[in-house]
Structure 1
């Protein structure tokens, strides 16, 4: 009995590693930002359902990523769940498919058929990037589009215009992170991280600018959180500029993933949604603590 229990716990841990479980805490802010920008945050059941759908799609993408990269990982990252033999490729693909189907079903349950014009393209973008898009010239933009569409999940097509500026900020941030991630195994030269630092500063600046129309308290919170994002992620880029080793670049990518939380908290505050912003910001220390136990890159 004890051996079976330990085996189940180990299997659960392997699957948690497969889907990069701590990083899923960076996802709720996507939908909240879109919903707040489009004035739909007050529909609690809709927002909660779409947050759940978005989170499932993210986990599906992580499992599919490792399925698609299993041969490369056997050489570059042999300790990952699939090449180490702890998770079979078939199981990883099954997890990805099941989570994708559950995500689409939950989106429809939360917002009806209106969710499909965004949910289907999001699913297609995730599967397209993982299976076909990684080695293309637009790989970084392809990955970033997934998170931009995730923001649009919160707004839906009916509120898309209002959510576009915030979605563009998130897309730009993920583009920067993805560009750095392409060097995280082999290491790179300092120019990669210098561009990333400049991109992060620009993202922080635009995020702060979007907060200028908010009431005073929300504006101060939006600017402060945008600055905190810039300082946290920017510091990791500075470290990688000094030593562009795989370890430093992996840390930079991890900071970029975690840094999405203060960035989106700033966007929420800047839209006047201070309480949800505080909730997203509160996820940041929790996610960082969890990331010390399980990798997010």
Structure 2
């Protein structure tokens, strides 16, 4: 049940993004700093999974009753405690390098709660908050790697913008598989309000902007292999988006999930392009290949059972109000 909550097919992504921020300056990065640049965002991401599932437990009871909390296999209080412990662990290792960076960890925690409790069901704003949280991982990694007394490298900024655009896009694609459940739960996501065709096109525009910015500014040109990885990421993006755009208004949850699965692997390749530009192809591939293998294998074995409801979702007119960690009502659909 905990392994399901961890979603191991996504867990490496914030780590490689934090590492991309750490190498953005182009200078050498101490091994301990590189490790914290990767592990801090991963722990925060893990905490976000637990806390997100805690706050989404009423919605999941409608659309994904097989998940650990609504199925009764994981107590809500346990999920909340594990989420907070993961974030505290991220703060703890951050103090070892740069105590002031704990403020970034606290900001990320606030963003996780705001996304889960308020913004997830508010048009595209929830998707943008998710993108912002991952962009923070880039800046976190750059700050961890910065020499004492010096600011993070400005070269991390375009990488952070790429990640913001890219993750807003991929998170929006992720909502396409949940249209029926979100509508039943009262969530006003972009696909619920404007339909899957409009949402897919919006995501495609954001994704294209992210790749163009990556090619122009974010991927260092020191090693040509970086651009080969960027081209591979673009090819995977086409593979993901083409069936979704072709389906239009007739998009099924299964096809939406397949597209998002490709993008989960693609974003690892995109982050590795930044690593290749700074380190060269061999170290970058040494990081990418095992992470990509774990992501593909665990997605194949775990993801469909976790993401897709076992039976069709019916509309819900009366459901219990969600409760936050202090016991107060969050309101139907968190609108």
* TM tier, smaller: 0.7 to 0.9
User: Partner residue of 1:227?
Assistant: 231
Higher normalized helix content (fraction of residues): 1
* 1:77 is aligned to 2:64: yes
2:219 & 2:140 partners in 1: Cα distance? 25
Distance change in 2, residues 1:234/1:113 (3 Å): same
Offset of 1:236 from its aligned partner? 1.6
Q: Give the TM-score, by structure 1 length.
A: 0.86
Q: Which residue of 2 aligns with 1:128?
A: 114
Between 1:27-36 and 1:204-213, the stretch displaced more is 204-213
Alignment of 1:133-172 (within 5 A): 133-137=119-123, 138-156=125-143, 158-172=151-165
Question: Is 2:15 the partner of 1:28?
Answer: yes
Matches within 5 A, 1:203-222: 203-210=210-217, 214-215=221-222, 218=223, 220-222=224-226
Q: CA deviation at 1:211?
A: 6.4
C-alpha separation in 1, matches of 2:258 and 2:55: 23
TM-score normalized by the length of structure 2: 0.77
3-state SS of 2:173 partner: helix
Q: What SS class does the counterpart of residue 294 from structure 1 fall into?
A: helix
Deviation at 1:183, TM superposition (A): 2.3
> Secondary structure of 1:191's match?
helix
Task: Please say if 1:200 is aligned against 2:186.
Answer: no
**1:6 matched residue in structure 2:** none
Question: Counterparts of 1:103 and 1:83 in 2: how far apart (Å)?
Answer: 27
| Counterpart in the other structure of 2:172 | 179
Cα deviation for residue 164 of structure 1 reads 0.4
Q: Distance in 2 between matches of 1:155 and 1:213?
A: 15
Moved more, 230-239 or 199-208: 199-208
Offset from partner CA, 1:197-247 (integer Å, 9 cap, x none)? 3433332232222367523xx1x2111111111211321221122331111
Quick one: structure 1 residues 270 and 205, their matched pair in 2 at CA, closer, same or farther if it must change by over 3 Å?
farther
Pick closer, same or farther for the CA change 1:213–1:179 going to 2, 3 Å: closer
Paired residues, what number?
280
Partner of 1:285 in structure 2? 293
Which one of 75, 100, 107 corresponds to residue 88 of structure 1?
A: 75
Q: 1:81 to 1:240 in 2, by over 3 A?
A: same
The Cα of 1:40 is off from its aligned counterpart by 5.6
Tell me, in whole angstroms, the C-alpha distance in 2 between the residues paired with 1:267 and 1:15. Answer: 32
What is the Cα deviation at residue 127 of structure 1? 2.6
Where 1:254 maps in the other structure, the secondary structure is helix
| Shift in CA distance, 59/182, structure 1 to aligned 2, threshold 3 Å | same
Q: Structure 1 pair 95/36, CA: closer, same or farther in 2 (3 Å)?
A: same
Distance 1:293 1:32, change over 3 A: same
Cα 1:116–1:211 change in 2 (3 A) is closer
- Deviation readout 1:90-146 (Å, 9 max, x if unpaired): 11111101111111101112x131422432222222232223321234211111110
Q: Provide closer, same or farther for how the CA distance between residues 89 and 117 of structure 1 changes in structure 2, counting only shifts above 3 A.
A: closer
Are 2:47 and 2:83, in contact at CA under 8 Å, matched by a contact in 1?
yes
After superposition, what is the alpha-carbon deviation per residue over 1:44-82, rounded to whole angstroms, capped at 9, x for unaligned?
101102311211111110111111111111111111111
- The gaps in structure 2 that reach 5 residues or longer are 181-194, 308-335
